[in-house]
Structure 1
Amino acid sequence: MNPPALPVTWRPHRTRFVAYGFAALIMIGAVVMALAMAEPWTWLDRLFLVLFAGLVAGILHLLARVRVTADERGLTIVNALRTHRRTWPEIIDVGMVPGEPWPKIDFSDGTSVGVMGIQGSEKANSARALAELDALIRDHSDSKDI
């Protein structure tokens, strides 16, 4: 496969739809409940209900924001809690074991990181994204001169 034109970003589709859908549903439900709560509940109780819903929506946003972006200098891997930036010479390989939720990228320093931006549950999309990412890694690796 030929590598795609840079820059390119891969992100899961279903995960984003589900996470943002649930976040909206939770926030709307919390606001409706806060407005409809009976008298023993104070305005502070209602406020904390909406704030808690906002915390849950924020956690869902962390799961929905995952992505992998490739540019001329390297990869930016945005996972739920951490963002990794690596240059092309540091990247050795990408692979996905059948049954795993996302692929892993191996680096020249011996470490590896999961790539949550490519979800294994999206079979066709993940296979295409993995093939494109692998082609980019092979195209930009230092070993292409060997």
Structure 2
Amino acid sequence: MVVVAGMVALAVGMPSNWGLGDRLGFVVVGLIVAGILHILARSRVTADDRGVTVVNGLRTHEYEWAEILGVSMPEGAPWPTLDLADGSTVPAMGIQSSDGDRARYAVAELTALVHERGEAREA
């Protein structure tokens, strides 16, 4: 909202030789930037009794505990990945490594839940 309001303010305050198309272009760019930021801000990882819900931008993935083998976030990775029983991996963008200790704690907590509740791990 702040981005759009800022672009509207800039569009209104532009020099008089700027046309209506130029001003509308500013507002459209503001709407696009706000939309992209909203999509990125939706990212989250939620664990409950049934499993894990991963929201990455526009896609939502729901996994039962039995489907998740592990959680990994190698040094330098921007976010962790969930290792799934079908051999695929899913990025968990709701946990950002740039959050430092908070991200490490979230990964450790999610890993503990996978070990506690998961059924797909090796015996």
2:26 to 49, 63, 79: 49
Q: Does 1:85 align with 2:62?
A: yes
Are the aligned partners of 2:67 and 2:120 in contact in 1 as well (CA < 8 Å)?
no
For 1:97-125, what per-residue CA distance to the aligned partner results, in whole angstroms no more than 9, with x for missing partners?
Answer: 01111111100111001111111111110
Residue 109 of structure 1: SS of its match in structure 2? coil
For 1:78-99, what per-residue CA distance to the aligned partner results, in whole angstroms no more than 9, with x for missing partners?
Answer: 1124221111111110011011
1:80 maps to a residue whose letter is: G
Alignment match, 1:69: 46
The alignment yields a C-alpha RMSD, in angstroms, of 1.8
Residue 127 of structure 1: SS of its match in structure 2? helix
2:10 to 33, 53, 63: 33
2:103 to 126, 132, 138: 126
Structure 1 residues 48 and 121, CA gap change in structure 2 (3 angstroms): same
Q: Runs of 5+ in structure 1 lacking a partner?
A: 1-22
For 1:56-91, what per-residue CA distance to the aligned partner results, in whole angstroms no more than 9, with x for missing partners?
Answer: 111011111210011111111011242211111111
Between the two structures, name the one with larger relative contact order (CA 8 Å, sep ≥ 6).
Answer: 1
Give distance in 1, aligned partners of 2:11 and 2:25.
Answer: 9
Q: Does 1:113 align with 2:90?
A: yes
Give distance in 2, aligned partners of 1:101 and 1:29.
Answer: 30
TM-score, normalised with respect to structure 1: 0.75
- Within 5 Å, which residues of 2 pair with 1:15-26? 24=2, 26=3
- Paired residues in the alignment total 122
1:127 maps to a residue whose letter is: R
> 1:138: Cα distance to partner?
0.9
1:98 to 63, 71, 75: 75
Alignment match, 2:37: 60
Give distance in 2, aligned partners of 1:50 and 1:142.
Answer: 51
